[in-house]
Amino acid sequence: MTAATHPAAGGAAAGKTDPVLVVEDLEVEFATDSGWLGVLDGVSFAVGRGETVGIVGESGSGKTVTSLAALGLLPPHSSRIPRGSVRLDGVELVGMPRRKLEAIRGDDISMIFQEPMTSLNPAFKVGDQIAEVVRRHRGGSWRSAMARAVEVLSEVGIPNAAQRARSFPHEFSGGMRQRVMIAMAMACQPKVIIADEPTTALDVTIQAQVLDLMRRMSEEHGTAVVFVTHDLGVVADICDRAVVMYAGQVVEQAEVDDLYHRPRHPYTAALMTAMPQLTGRSGRLATIPGRTPAPGSMPPGCRFHPRCAHALDTCRAGDDGAGGRVAIRELDGGRTSRCLRVHELTLEGTE
């Protein structure tokens, strides 16, 4: 076995040469009536400059918590980060004073959310909302900030940007609002954008347009994108590399092509069979049996074993044989997997 015991070793792969964002051994806990409860367990990954990385998982896998934690956006009193580090261009964000963190958010790193319909403030014109962000980080006059707002709005493909900047959010369609959100996130040309399911709420045709736009913006400005999604198809479409999350842990990391052709974790393989448009197999819509475990009731050993078709008693026993956690295994080609049987199994991928 080549199991690497140090959890931070998951840093890995393409990001390692010149990473702009490094998440290392991140743990997050939420307050409950019965005390603090862990929802993220040793999450580690890195994002290279200009790279697009997908974070994939079902709802409840911790992918959104990971992205919120990276920006320090978790609710301050009901959550905490007991361990771990998030470094943006070498600067530690975890534990950074609020004021300093505020100055970095929207400037060096920004975020796009799932719901374009509710993510813009209904009471202010879109141009004003973007200009406000520009002035916050770049200073200068209102007029120059507004000019920058119009510039990004036209860059994201909003026709008549100068005029539309004076419109209120409710005067835009969902797809157009998501373009506005992208414009706002791009306004200060951040090094990293975290996009949390940015296309999930949109129509399929609009989805494709927004994905194209994000790819184009990322390429033109060299912005690294962390793409949080439950949709492996989107990952295949836009990402260089994928980080698969399950029950608060990273379970597999690989280049997108490698991941799809030859998944090394049964959960990844199961996710792919659950998506007929990916596998091309028709007639049978596979689903993964069971549900994502809730924090506080995690199964012993491998967290996926109750739903895994390949599970053995050893999976339940974990690395220490007593139900302890399963560590990340470093594999060839800069890949990682959190499967105990990774070297025994041959899992089916896609073409």
Partner 1 sequence: MSAATLDEREALETPELSAKARFWRRFRRQVPALLALGWLALVVLASIIAPLLATHPPLEQDLGAVLRAPGQDGHLLGSDDLGRDVYTRALYAGRISLVAAAQAVAVAIALGVVPGLVAGYAGRRVDSVIMRITDGVMCFPPLILAIAFVGVLGPSLTNAMFVIGVIFAPRFVRLVRGSVLSVRQETFIEASRSIGTPTHRVIRRHVVPNVLSPLIVQISLAAAMAMLAEASLSFLGLGVQPPDASWGSMIERGFRYTAAAPWLTVFPGLLIALTVLAFNVLGDGLRDSLGREERRAA
Partner 2 sequence: MLQYTVKRVLMMVPLLFLVSLGVFALVLLIPGDPAITIAGENATVAEIEATRERLGFNDPVIVQYLGWAGSALTGDLGTSLFSNESVTGAILGRFPVTISVAAAAMTVALLIAVPAGIIAAVHRGRWPDRLATLLASIGISMPNFWVGILLIIVLALMFPIFPAVGYTPITDGVGAWAWGLVLPGITLGTTVAAEITRQLRGSLHDVMQQDYIRTARANGLRGGVIIAKHGLKNAAVPVVTVIGFQVGFLLGGSVIVERVFGLPGLGDLAIRAVLQRDIPMIQGIVVVTALVVMLINLAVDLSYGYLNPKVRQQG
Task: Give the binding site for partner 1 (CB under 8 A).
Answer: 30, 32-33, 37, 39, 59-60, 63-65, 68, 73-75, 78-79, 114, 294-296
Residue pair 189/224 in contact (Cβ under 8 Å)? The answer is: no
Residue pair 310/341 in contact (Cβ under 8 Å)? The answer is: yes
Question: Which residues within the stretch 54-93 sit at the binding site for partner 2 (CB under 8 A)?
Answer: 71, 73, 77
**Residue 184: which of partner 1, partner 2, none does it interact with, CB under 5 to 8 A by kind?**
partner 2
**Of these, 32, 59, 118, 163, which contacts partner 2 (CB under 8 A)?**
118
Nearest approach in angstroms of CB 106 to partner 2 is: 3
Tokens of 266: 């049964």
Q: Which is nearer to partner 1, 293 or 334 (CB)?
A: 293
Extract the runs of DSSP E, i.e. beta strands, from the chain: 19-32, 35-48, 52-56, 79-88, 91-92, 109-112, 192-196, 224-229, 241-246, 249-255, 329-330, 336-337
**Cα separation of 60 and 41, whole Å?**
13
Is residue 94 a contact point for partner 2 (CB under 8 A)? no
Is residue 173 a contact point for partner 2 (CB under 8 A)? no
Is residue 32 a contact point for partner 2 (CB under 8 A)? no
**Cα separation of 125 and 122, whole Å?**
8
Please name which of 36, 37, 32, 40 lies closest in space to residue 94, comparing C-alpha atoms.
40
Q: Which is nearer to partner 1, 32 or 163 (CB)?
A: 32
Is residue 120 a contact point for partner 2 (CB under 8 A)? yes
**Residue 124: which of partner 2, partner 1, none does it interact with, CB under 5 to 8 A by kind?**
partner 2
Q: Which is nearer to partner 2, 226 or 326 (CB)?
A: 226
**Residue 294: which of partner 2, partner 1, none does it interact with, CB under 5 to 8 A by kind?**
partner 1
Residue with tokens 């609020």: 98
Q: Which is nearer to partner 1, 127 or 248 (CB)?
A: 248
Report CA torsion sign: 201, 207, 212, 215: positive
According to DSSP, residue 159 is labeled T
Nearest approach in angstroms of CB 65 to partner 1 is: 6
Per the DSSP assignment, residues forming a β-bridge with 85 are 24
Tokens of 285: 């819509």
**Cα separation of 31 and 60, whole Å?**
16
Nearest approach in angstroms of CB 31 to partner 1 is: 8
Q: Which is nearer to partner 2, 12 or 201 (CB)?
A: 201
Is residue 30 a contact point for partner 2 (CB under 8 A)? no
Nearest approach in angstroms of CB 220 to partner 2 is: 21
Residue pair 249/44 in contact (Cβ under 8 Å)? The answer is: no
Q: Which is nearer to partner 2, 120 or 288 (CB)?
A: 120
Kindly report the backbone phi and psi dihedral angles of residue 53, in degrees, each rounded to the nearest multiple of 5, phi listed first.
Answer: -115, 130
The CA R_g of the chain, rounded to the nearest whole Å, is 21
Site string for partner 2, 220-259 (x = CB under 8 A): ----------------------------------------
**Cα separation of 79 and 303, whole Å?**
22
Amino acid present at 282? S
Nearest approach in angstroms of CB 311 to partner 1 is: 23
Question: Which residues within the stretch 128-167 sit at the binding site for partner 2 (CB under 8 A)?
Answer: 132-133, 136-137
Q: Which is nearer to partner 1, 59 or 173 (CB)?
A: 59
Please name which of 49, 54, 66, 55 lies closest in space to residue 15, comparing C-alpha atoms.
49
* Interacting residue ranges for partner 2, rule: CB under 8 A: 71, 73, 77, 98-99, 102-107, 110-111, 113, 115, 118-124, 132-133, 136-137, 168, 170-171, 181, 184-185
